[in-house]
Structure formats: C-alpha cells, structure tokens
Amino acid sequence: MLGDYGSAIVYYDGVICQINKYTKQLDDPCMKGRWHACTRSLQDELEMVKEIEKEIQLIKESSPMKATHEASSHLTPSSGQFSPLPPQCEQHQTPPTLITHTPRGIERRASEPVVGDAHRGDLRGEDVQAMDPDVWQPPPPQRAIPSRTKPKASTVVPVNSSNSGLPMGRLRRANSTGHKGVQPKVDTRRGRDGRRDTPGQEYEGPDEDLVALLKRDILDTSPGVTWGEIAGLHEAKRVLEEATVLPLIMPDFFKGIRRPVRGVLMFGPPGTGKTLLAKAVATEAHVSFFNVSSATLASKYRGESERMVRCLFDMARAYAPSIIFIDEIDSLCTSRGATGEHEASRRVKSELLMQIDGCFGHNVEPGQHVMVLAATNFPWDIDEALRRRLEKRIYIPLPELGARRDLMHISFKDVDVAEDVDWDELARQMEGYSGDDITNVCRDAAFNGMRRRTAGMSLEQIRNMQADAVHTPVLMDDLVEALARISSSVSKADIAKHESWKGEFGSV
C-alpha cells in the first residue's frame, strides 16, 4: 500500500478489528497476550501511516484556490453542460468527467454517461446546481437496470480504453434511461445444458479505475472449488443448490412466488468452510463470482464506500448471472442506530440494502439475476433490515464424525499415507475441531516425515539430499503427534451462541 495511505488505513482498521474480535473468543491468556502485543504494534504502525496521510492532506489543501478554479473551468452550472474537455482528457481520449472536491482533494466525478456532444444534455441543470463543490456527492440513485437483450434506443460510441487490458474500441452506450453504467457486451456462448460455459461479458463502468480494481481484486470467473472438495455439510449444500444453482438452470420455474431468494447468509464458527461453499456455488452454477471482503468495501471517506458498492452491483449485473460473496458481512453491516455508528457506515448500509432490492426488479430477466451470498462468524451483530433480505440463513456447523474423516482423506489426496492410519479413531479424537483445524493437523503431520529425515542435518546436507528422499508416507504417529500439538480453535461458548441464534433466526 506504499503511497496509497487512505486504503492502507482502511486495511489496518479492518485487520485490527478482526484481531480484536478473534482475541475476545480466546481462553488462553498467553495467546491473548501475544495477540494484544500484535494489535499494539499494528496500532503504532497505523498511527504512523495516519501521520503521513495527514501531511499529504495538508499539502493538498494548501492550494485550494487552484483546485476550485480547475473544477469550475470544466463545469458551467448555468447551462448544465460541460465546457470543452480538459487537456488531459483530450490527450488520453477518456470521457469528460466532473471534477469535484473530495476529502482526499480533487477527484473526478466519473459517473455520468457523457460521451461526446450528443450526451451533454444528459446532465440536467438541477443536478449541477445540487452539487456542493466542497463535498463529494455520490451520483443520483440508479434509475433503471438495463435490459441486456433489448437495449433501449441508444447512441453507440467507440472509445479507446487504457485500463485492465480490455480490448480497444469497444462499444459504449449511453442509453435513454439515463442509466450511468455502460452496457456490457453480451457473450452468448453456452454449454449443452444451456448454461454459459464462461462468464464472457466485458464491462466498462463509468469509473474505469474502480472497475479495474474490482476486476483485479474481486472478480473471480472460475473459483474452481467443487462440491466434492467439501467434506460433509450436506444440508448446507442442498439448500445452497436449491437457492442459487437451480434458479439459474430452470429460470422459468423460479418466477412469481417462486422467485429466487435475494440473498443467503452462511453463519457459523470460523474455519468451517463458508468461503469454500461460496466458491463451490459459483463453480457449480457457472456464474461470475465477486469475492469481496468487508474491509475492501469499508472506506472511511464519505461517499467512497457507496460508490464502490454501487459499482460492484453494476458490474455484477453486467456479468449476470453472478454471485456477490461478502465475507465478514458483520463488520460492514452492524445494526443501524447502534451507539457509535458512523454516518458514513449508515449510508453504505443503506446503499447495500437498496442495491440488494434492485437485484430482483421487474426488469431483470429470469436467470440473469445477481445474488448476494454473505458469511459471518457474528450473525447477532447484523443489521435487522439486512437480515430480512438475506432470506436463507444457513448454519455451517463444525464437521461431524463422517465429515472429519472425509476431510482428512481430502487433505491427503496427493500424499502417501501408511496403512496403519486409523481414520475412525482420529476422527473421534478431533471432536470439536473446525475444518480448518483438521486441515492444519493434516498439514502438520505431513511435514513430520521430512522433520524425521532431516533431524540433525545441516542446511548444506539437506540441500544435497535427493528431492524424493523426504517423501515418506504419513504415519499414524505423525497424526497423533500433530493432534497433540494443535488444539481446537472454537470454544464451546461460541457454538452455543450460534446454535441459539440459529434457533431464533435460522431459515433453511
């Protein structure tokens, strides 16, 4: 994050918040102390980063007149039209943008569909007058979700793009609905079963940088996890399949009262496979998968988070059918009105709720919807309105006996295991372990053979060893030893809390 201190602060805040939450569940005072020390050193670093950011702000703010002049020279409020392109726009052939003040200084308001003279009238006078030049304002709420098969009369303007390796000279549309997003190119490649083989649309949003960022960090067109790689959780898989995969395969059945659910919440202790399930859903349903963590969406700058949420849903609609997976949703959507709630956080929640509602408007074609899949380890912290929209709330528990045994087999699928391993006995001993804990035990045991072979050897001797000399089968003793070293990371109190919440709010 060198140089991008604003984002760095968000990441620091997010990590510190997660560590604090995690530390609260720990019983072992020694581990607690170590995590506290870690948090303290992160906080020290954070203070330093904040200082640097403050300095940068001061430097930026020291020439406000120049900025105001620059902004006003590209916008003529009385006419509600743009003045000629600023030189840098002409040079790079990018669409003209409004330039407004943001808490970070000057920033493009890159949200209007204005491309060429034909669209200058799209920016109405009242839009311009409503703009306070000193405050960044999000663009007005989206008016319509564009239909991809029957585009309204629109002007198509070829543009050159400089971002994210997208093809040059793509078609951009600014349609008559005033929708600010740009129509995606539709890829009609479909498999024999009617499902699309690869999500093949290209999307150019109004804010190229943000779209590039979301594409790079968040869009995952082939998560590559299959149901077979997930041990146990049969009920969760069934519910997810019914809620997410079937509506895409049989869109005509899932209409009216049978419409697909707007969102699904997976809750449960950490490391039980929620993220894996989300990825498997995306793979099995052949949809575009937007994998977002709340830390990415949580920006302390007014308007930025909303802008990101809006852009994310815009993109998801362009790549529809798609799934937006929001991990750790509790840190983004704590109860509204809670003490200490920040105005910016309230606004981002409202935007998220609005966007989720927009996913199933009357103008969304069957089978082309966007679904929100969320995960949390703290379901009791989630805002009520959001809870209502996440219509299916599935408990993802610790693995049962059979699942623990299957998970060990999955973990060792590429490793030789000795005949003496007693899977049933190990599975019994791992009661209370999460899937992640079990994977850790297996990983640790898989290293034991190498440890035995290399004990007492110098680095030079190890370097000269044949590579396959360290490949020894995993023994029962290795697993027993690893099990003695690694304890369960989930407390009984945490399980009890989840089960009680499931009793009250669970919905399958």
User: Please, which residues have CB within 8 angstroms of residue 395's CB and are 6 or more apart in sequence?
Assistant: 236, 267, 268, 498, 499, 502, 506
269 in a known ligand binding site = yes
Binding pattern for the stretch 377-416 against ligand ATP, x by CB under 6 A and - elsewhere: x---------------------x-------x--x------
103 in a known ligand binding site = no
Binding pattern for the stretch 412-451 against ligand ATP, x by CB under 6 A and - elsewhere: -----------------------xx--x------------
**Shortest Cβ 225–ligand ATP spacing (Å):** 9
If one asks whether residue 373 binds ligand ATP (CB under 6 A), the answer comes out as no
Half-sphere exposure of 383 (CA within 13 A, CB side): 22
270 in a known ligand binding site = yes
- The strand ranges marked E within 286-408 are 288-293, 322-327, 370-376, 392-395
**Which residue type, as a one-letter code, is found at position 256?**
G
Which residue's CB is nearer to ligand ATP, number 101 or number 274? 274
272 in a known ligand binding site = yes
Angle at the Cα of 200 from the Cα atoms of 199 and 204, rounded to 5 degrees: 110
If one asks whether residue 239 binds ligand ATP (CB under 6 A), the answer comes out as no
Write out the two tokens for 18. Answer: 């997660």
DSSP classification of residue 226: -
- The strand ranges marked E within 161-273 are 170-175, 219-220, 263-267
Give the three-state DSSP class for 136.
coil
275 in a known ligand binding site = yes
DSSP classification of residue 71: H
Give the three-state DSSP class for 39.
helix
According to CB under 6 A, which one of 14, 206, 232, 303 is a site residue for ligand ATP? 232
205 in a known ligand binding site = no
β-partners of residue 268 are none
Query: In the chain, helix, strand, coil percent, each to 5?
Result: 50, 15, 40
**Shortest Cβ 461–ligand ATP spacing (Å):** 33
Residue 207's nearest CA partner among 312, 351, 84 is 312
**Shortest Cβ 17–ligand ATP spacing (Å):** 14
Task: Give the integer Cα–Cα distance in Å for 187 and 327.
Answer: 29
* Residue where the block lists tokens 């295991």: 417
Which residue's CB is nearer to ligand ATP, number 146 or number 273? 273
Task: Give the integer Cα–Cα distance in Å for 491 and 500.
Answer: 15
If one asks whether residue 276 binds ligand ATP (CB under 6 A), the answer comes out as yes
If one asks whether residue 231 binds ligand ATP (CB under 6 A), the answer comes out as yes
Which residue's CB is nearer to ligand ATP, number 372 or number 407? 407
If one asks whether residue 270 binds ligand ATP (CB under 6 A), the answer comes out as yes
Question: What is the phi/psi pair of residue 140, to 5°?
Answer: -60, 155
According to CB under 6 A, which one of 25, 154, 155, 275 is a site residue for ligand ATP? 275
According to CB under 6 A, which one of 123, 233, 394, 445 is a site residue for ligand ATP? 233
**Shortest Cβ 443–ligand ATP spacing (Å):** 9
449 in a known ligand binding site = no
If one asks whether residue 372 binds ligand ATP (CB under 6 A), the answer comes out as no
Cβ-closest position to ligand ATP: 435
- Residue 410 contacts residue 231 (beta carbons within 8 Å): yes
169 in a known ligand binding site = no
Binding pattern for the stretch 285-324 against ligand ATP, x by CB under 6 A and - elsewhere: ----------------------------------------
According to CB under 6 A, which one of 184, 271, 379, 397 is a site residue for ligand ATP? 271
Which residues of the chain form contacts with ligand ATP (CB under 6 A)?
230-233, 270-276, 327, 375, 377, 399, 407, 410, 435-436, 439
Binding-site members for ATP are: 268-275
